[in-house]
Chains A and B, each alone.
Chain A
């Protein structure tokens, strides 16, 4: 049900762009206004969301420790999984953000007769997630060629690397294909695995369908339709130089692609996709386990009601004396 709602929403978006461009002739709206609007929403939204998180205090130093603590010189500390220094934390975060280290350690279990519970390692989610995020990143970087003139050498190198297979004309770029496969895997996993299907919301399917459609329209343009790349580049260069004009003859598929990308960008600040900023601010990962060495300050720490020793002694003085315990007041 949640998946169907999301699919309908994405189909709706495609139709809006199709009708808007082909029927209503709103080329300027879809080519210029919508992308500008999306990028403004994206920037303001992301910044304000991250600032909202950043302004919220971290009252306690609560890293999840996943290895040996620092204690004696003769006991080897697990410096990445239980960091006690800033360098260790940076290392832990880098491995987390770039390589998804926590997911790498994922396990599965099976309940057998007996009962006997067996555990094993499972890396599919890690692999799928990593493939998805990295290919998405490469695709994004590759698109910078549309916004630069001349195209910087590093972008040309990335594209050359991406097309190392040297198959087809124009040459197949690995990143786009991997992106489509990975996003399809993430979707199938969500519908096939009963537990994951059970926890999935419309907000989990929607970005998957959106990104799937973005990848499909992109692949369609590059390999099958041979869209007017010169016209498109004129448009994109116009956008970044704030001198936007809409050349004639650009395929409607491009407008659909652009509209879906704009939707994705504008949607990010209001969605779970913000995890990309959130992981950096996650107090269980980005703090060192050194709270016995360096005092952590809670900005809103306040005095609380206490039951003091003298109140305690007042209540138990006679019993304490009888038991031979020292007292403050006779």
Chain B
């Protein structure tokens, strides 16, 4: 594995493009930038083509004989199926508005990380094979043939895009590089070219219900550790149910929350909140994943993985579904789930059993975001909160790409944070809400072997955090995404050491005054609460 340079070295970035035109500049596949290739066993589980042992650094990628034909056929099929793809191939005027909006460009200076050029990597092949001008004029029209070097370049750069959609906000035509990258990755997958960091979790999710491959008894076991910790902190014993038929609500969250901190603290937050409310809900071990690494692979695989949520809701006979804190999970639930696997006519329009609020905005999908659910509880005065318990924290909020630009969930989490914390500070307004920066490793790029590009991509977000750390002494970055919780922990450690990461519901649980709780002296992390430092 390549050694990641130190921050002061990495932050010397050259933004001057090379002398030679990009079409004539060969791409070198640098270590520390790419992820390992998909292992055959994972492609076999998913029934994907061309499972074989292969290495990115090898010359021979062991492609099928007719790989060009497969790609061009695949392109034609997708041009006929997706208006987004077709229109975005045709209308870019290369105005450059998107060029400096990508976190990977800002962090690397590599011109092929400008969204416009990332799209041109594909567009050039489109022109060469599907447009008259490109066929006749060739390079003058910006066309190029599909060679092995081009394919490798696609692999390299379509796994250096986190499908965050920030470029799409600034494009005068709304051209969305996420759409281009999704198509690029679908095409690569036709040849068995995925990363193992994506195909592994996807295969796990398909067979075991979640990306981490937690088997049913392990899920129960992991939660029971958390329940012990909750009991230690609050004196309250919680007994959640699993796979229970007849529950009112099915709760689905990313499996990252069940596995490693700080996600586990967020999960403890859910458990405490639901217990305090006496909510009639169940966990599922079959639909034990809110996230969807299929979404980073192909539309079809995304649909296959997503189908479990409605199927399980139907089997258990619940009334509606509540979803935990996760980013891309919510783009999928908001913009894809009902179209793929609906209609969910076996469910009822979600209604909070505590406040009676009907969630009208979810009346067909029947799935509510936990930030909406909790904001409604607080608004209706149903929670007893002591924000002083979070007084040791100076909090900022990182908007996740997908809940921002694929949903628009901005005020709900802020409303919650402002009710459970006394010290909240916003980052630079050009780096939050719809202009938020990716954590740097979304869309399945949070592997270990590509750490250099992850830290580069994480620079803009981390740097905006550093700004509020310097100005206000911020020490905690709140977010509503499991990948953020894992990724920001690493990138802040690298760029802004000492800054911690939390889910919003960990903050809620710290502030939540529960019936019958003992005097709390520690937070969920086992650290003393403000004013309790001497009591240990």
Q: CB within 8 Å of B: which residues of A?
A: 1-2, 5, 49, 52-53, 56-62, 64-72, 74-76, 78, 81-82, 84, 96, 100, 102-103, 105-109, 111, 114-117, 119-121, 125, 129, 193-204, 270-272, 274-275, 278-279, 281-285, 289, 291-298, 300-301, 304-309, 312-313, 315-316, 319-320, 322-326
Contacts and interface: CB of A to CB of B under 8 A. Distances in A.
B22 A309 contact: no
A106 B170 contact: yes
Interface string B389-429: 00000000000000011111111100100000000000010
B408 A278 contact: no
Contacts of A52: 86
12 contacts: A1-B21, A59-B299, A67-B433, A105-B169, A106-B170, A107-B430, A202-B142, A283-B87, A284-B174, A300-B81, A306-B304, A312-B208
Contacts of B156: none
A119 B97 CA distance: 14
Interface in B334-371: 334-336, 338-340, 342-343, 357, 359-365, 367
A53 B168 contact: no
Nearest to B431: A119
Contacts of A193: 96
Contact of B111 (A84, A198, A312): A198
A65 B408 contact: yes
B175 interface: yes
B83 A58 contact: yes
A307 B206 contact: yes
A291 B100 contact: no
A294 to B, nearest CB: 6
Interface string B371-387: 01001100100000000
B97 A125 contact: yes
A65 B87 contact: no
A289 B406 CA distance: 8
B431 to A, nearest CB: 7
B342 A202 contact: no
A326 B243 contact: yes
Interface of B: 11, 13, 15-17, 21-22, 47, 79-84, 86-88, 90-97, 99-101, 106, 111, 114, 116-117, 120, 131-133, 140-142, 165, 168-176, 179, 206-209, 215-217, 220-221, 242-245, 285-286, 299-300, 303-304, 307-308, 311-312, 315, 333-336, 338-340, 342-343, 357, 359-365, 367, 372, 375-376, 379, 404-412, 415, 428, 430-431, 433-435, 459-460, 463-464, 466-467
User: Chain B interface secondary structure, helix, strand, loop or mixed?
Assistant: helix
- The interface centre, meaning the residue of A53, A108, A117, A283 with most chain B CB atoms within 10 A of its CB, is A117
Given A295-B342, A316-B215, A304 B300 contact: yes
A107 B174 CA distance: 16
Nearest to A105: B170
User: Chain A interface secondary structure, helix, strand, loop or mixed?
Assistant: loop
Contacts of A119: 428, 430-431
B114 A66 contact: no
A125 B95 contact: yes
Given A67-B408, A274-B91, 6 more contacts: A64-B176, A111-B15, A199-B99, A289-B407, A309-B311, A320-B217
A129 B22 contact: no
Contacts of A204: 93-94
Nearest to A320: B216
Contact of B315 (A107, A291, A309, A324): A309
Contacts of B339: 59-61, 291, 295-298, 301
Given A203-B142, A292-B334, A326 B245 contact: yes
A112 B157 CA distance: 26
Nearest to A200: B94
A82 B315 CA distance: 35
A289 B173 contact: no
- The interface centre, meaning the residue of A1, A82, A283 with most chain B CB atoms within 10 A of its CB, is A283
Contact of A285 (B174, B308, B359, B364): B174
Contacts of A275: 91-93, 173
B492 to A, nearest CB: 15
Contacts of B340: 298, 301
Nearest to A53: B87
B111 A195 contact: yes
B365 A59 contact: no
Given A65-B434, A292-B361, A295-B338, A312 B286 contact: yes
A114 B408 CA distance: 33
Nearest to B117: A199
B362 A62 contact: no
A284 B220 contact: no
B174 A69 contact: no
Given A62-B335, A202-B142, A282-B174, A325 B342 contact: no
B281 to A, nearest CB: 15
B11 A68 contact: no
A283 B165 CA distance: 13
Contact of B106 (A65, A117, A199, A283): A117
A283 B170 contact: no
B430 A75 contact: no
A115 B459 contact: yes
A4 to B, nearest CB: 11
A291 to B, nearest CB: 5
Nearest to A58: B83
A100 B172 CA distance: 6
Nearest to A272: B93
B216 A323 contact: yes
Given A69-B408, A195-B99, A81 B434 contact: yes
B83 A56 contact: yes
Contact of A69 (B364, B407, B464): B407
B93 A304 contact: no
Contacts of B174: 64, 96, 102, 279, 282-285
B79 A56 contact: yes
Contacts of B97: 102-103, 106, 125
A68 B404 CA distance: 8
Contacts of B299: 59
Nearest to B16: A194
Contacts of B132: 270
